Chains A and B, each alone.
Chain A
Amino acid sequence: MPLLQVENLQVSFRTHNGFLPVVRGVSLQLHEGETLAVVGESGSGKSVTSLALMGLLPSKARVDGSFYFQGEPFEPPQGKLRGHGLSMIFQNPMSSLNPVMTVGKQVAEPLLFHQKMTVREADKKVLELFHEVGLPSTPAFSQRYPHQLSGGMRQRVVIAIALACAPSVLIADEPTTALDVTIQAQILDLLKQLQSHRKMGMIMVTHDMSVVETVAHRVAVMYAGQFVEVGSCGQVLQSPAHPYTRALLASRPTLTREPVGVLKAISGRPPSPSELDGGCPFHPRCSLVEESCRKEEPVLQEWEDRAVRCPIAKRGTTVASPG
């Protein structure tokens, strides 16, 4: 039985032009000890999906879909699941930190309230957590306020808070964007360890393909509010099928001695929700586009060991030779 299951999640925001759909039918399953990476276009709905799971969207958002935690249906804003069940690391660390409370207190809070530790136990555990995320494990550091920390330090305080909750599912939205690679490696190691010890399931939103390679078992690629390709990490990164996934991977700079050229960006931009025209949302930018793509929105089709939302890519025999 999956730890977490989501069926057909739809989110739209109320605007003066009516409801604009931002997440359009996302389904996912997450098992114990598994990491699902979610990658994709900036603005495609990764954070909104995560916030919907946590029940943290603003009231002008309309949310539809079914959610199951260990097989039991749940409505996202459910206190019981937060803390022990689901815990989230937000993309904007400042939004989850209290600016007028020391960072030590903020990490201690879940230990005192969820884990029912004594103050002394909690203080000790706080320093341990700081050490684990590569922060100074000193009482002086505990006494600091968020604005006195660097961007990457805040991010690590937020990670420490999430871990203090000992969740069974951790949703991490870009948890390592502000960290240098050596500290990033340390944190990813830590998360992997926790997964094997505690069988924690993890949804990791990231745009860093090396993070995906390091931690993820499966990866979902998101574009314009939908998953366009879902499969095992090795498959998707090595032989991407959907034209968007391919173009995405081709625009990644690498550290080699090759002469620096102009990066291959995907030309154009993704459609805004009001520009969706009933066809494939990627068709204006796609290299494989055919007439049918403009008329009909493709569905996510199971195909060998992955799911792809593109009938053209599926028809071709292009999987073995990514272009």
Chain B
Amino acid sequence: MLLQVDDLRVRYDGADEETLKGVSLQIKAGERLALVGESGSGKSTLARALLGLCPVVGGEVRFQGELLLSAKQPLRNQGYRRAVQMIFQDPYNSLHPRLSVEKNLLEPLKIHQLYQGEKSVEKARALLARVGLDPEAGSRYPHEFSGGQLQRIGIARALLTEPQILLADEPVSALDVSVQAQVLNLLAELSSERRLALLFISHDLAVVRQLCGRVAVMYRGRLVESGAVDDVCFEPAHPYTETLVEATLGHPLKKVARKESAGQGCPFVPRCRKREERCWQELPPLLENTAGRVCACHFPIGTSDRQNV
């Protein structure tokens, strides 16, 4: 296993509860795992935690079998730092404003002592071209670019060090569909060529299905469902996943009378169409119902009550 995350917990300073409440997942070499979920559910937090950028208070992360990170052990492994790259959700603040784009791209190579002079410069230019930017782009400064252009510069920079794992936080969300297609094709190609593993955070299920084999769904700091992309998209078991799929397909969302909950039950209970008495009291555990498919719901959606998905 390339990366193994077990019961990872994050709590920000001063927060009254954990932001990640025990998340477990695995990524094999070359595997593409998508992470979808509610806004504010902890997707970016999870990715940042895997870079050692968030206060981990429990659980552990292993890289190629070795302990990488836990509440007691801060992230120090140099081999891992070189193997992992992140595309940040906010393309504006992830580049150095006073360095030209080319210098920005070459920066990580220098940090990891992978810089090879002219050869690296050439590679940087080739990558800019592959994400659809013109050759002059390298000599300009970040503030001279549009949102989508910056996002692509971030992608090129992350790919330049040839990482083994790419943590991509909404990497295509600011792109028009044609450039998005170009970037998705590029990521798919590189990941097959170089066995690049992806943790791909997105809110667009159609994009996720295009690129990833497996998908994990987050809600309020926990995984609520995961499995093969087609299973999850076309036969969602968790009611939250179902609302995501329905909204993606443009079906009107069924109205559920919202009621506030006292907090100890299922986190989705205030919005759930399947809720029953028990859901208000007991937190549903994450259980494997069929091979490779897990879901945290007392009353998962079965074939009988599947709606028009």
Contact = CB atoms under 8 A, between A and B. Distances in A.
B280 interface: no
A182 B38 contact: yes
Given A150-B40, A180-B39, A181-B247, A91 B185 contact: no
Interface stretch (A24-32, A39-47, A161-169, A302-310): A39-47
Contacts of B174: 42, 91, 174, 177, 207
B44 A41 contact: no
Interface in A32-59: 39-43, 46-48
A263 interface: yes
A255 B205 contact: yes
Interface string B128-140: 0100111010000
Interface in B60-109: 89-90, 92-93
A18 B222 CA distance: 53
B136 A41 contact: no
Contacts of B164: none
A19 to B, nearest CB: 14
B111 to A, nearest CB: 24
B194 to A, nearest CB: 18
A300 to B, nearest CB: 20
B175 A42 contact: yes
Contact of B203 (A41, A179, A247, A260): A179
Contacts of B144: 13
B147 A248 contact: no
B209 A253 contact: yes
Contacts, number: 146
Contact of A251 (B129, B181, B248): B181
Nearest to B212: A260
A180 B90 contact: no
B38 A178 contact: no
A50 to B, nearest CB: 11
Interface stretch (A65-73, A80-88, A109-117, A267-275): A267-275
B180 A251 contact: yes
A265 B181 contact: yes
A321 interface: no
B243 interface: yes
B91 to A, nearest CB: 8
Interface residues of A, number: 53
Nearest to B250: A210
Interface in B164-208: 170, 173-182, 184-185, 188, 203-207
Given A94-B93, A253-B207, A153 B40 contact: yes
Interface in A164-223: 174, 177-185, 207, 209-210, 213
B181 A180 contact: no
A95 B83 CA distance: 32
Q: Count chain A CB atoms within 10 A of each CB in B133, B173, B184, B185 and give the residue with the most.
A: B173
Contacts of B205: 181, 255
A150 B44 contact: yes
B146 A265 contact: no
Highest count of chain B CB atoms <10 Å: which of A42, A95, A210, A247: A42
Interface string A266-310: 100100101100000000000000000000000000000000000
B288 interface: no
Contacts of B243: 182
B148 interface: yes
Given A95-B92, A181-B247, A207 B206 contact: no
Given A92-B147, A174-B147, A255-B249, A248 B38 contact: no
Contacts of B234: 257
Nearest to B89: A151
B232 to A, nearest CB: 11
A317 interface: no
A42 B137 CA distance: 14
A150 B45 CA distance: 9
Contact of B40 (A152, A207, A251, A263): A152
Contacts of B43: 150
Contact of A43 (B146, B230, B247): B146
Given A43-B149, A92-B147, A265 B178 contact: yes
A18 to B, nearest CB: 14
Interface in B114-168: 129, 132-134, 136, 144-149, 152
B133 A269 contact: yes
B175 to A, nearest CB: 5
A41 B178 contact: yes
Contact of A255 (B134, B177, B181, B206): B206
Contacts of A95: 92
A264 interface: yes
A263 B176 contact: no
A152 B250 contact: no
A177 B175 CA distance: 10
Contact of B247 (A48, A156, A185): A185
Contact of B39 (A94, A150, A249): A150
Contacts of B40: 149-150, 152-153
A185 B253 contact: yes
A220 B309 CA distance: 32
A177 B90 CA distance: 11
19 contacts: A42-B152, A47-B147, A91-B174, A92-B147, A150-B40, A151-B39, A152-B39, A182-B243, A182-B244, A182-B247, A183-B38, A207-B175, A255-B245, A260-B210, A263-B185, A263-B210, A265-B178, A265-B182, A269-B133
Given A179-B39, A180-B244, 10 more contacts: A43-B146, A43-B149, A46-B146, A180-B37, A248-B176, A248-B178, A255-B233, A262-B185, A265-B182, A266-B178
List the 3 closest pairs (A to B, CB-CB), nearest first: A152-B39, A42-B148, A263-B181
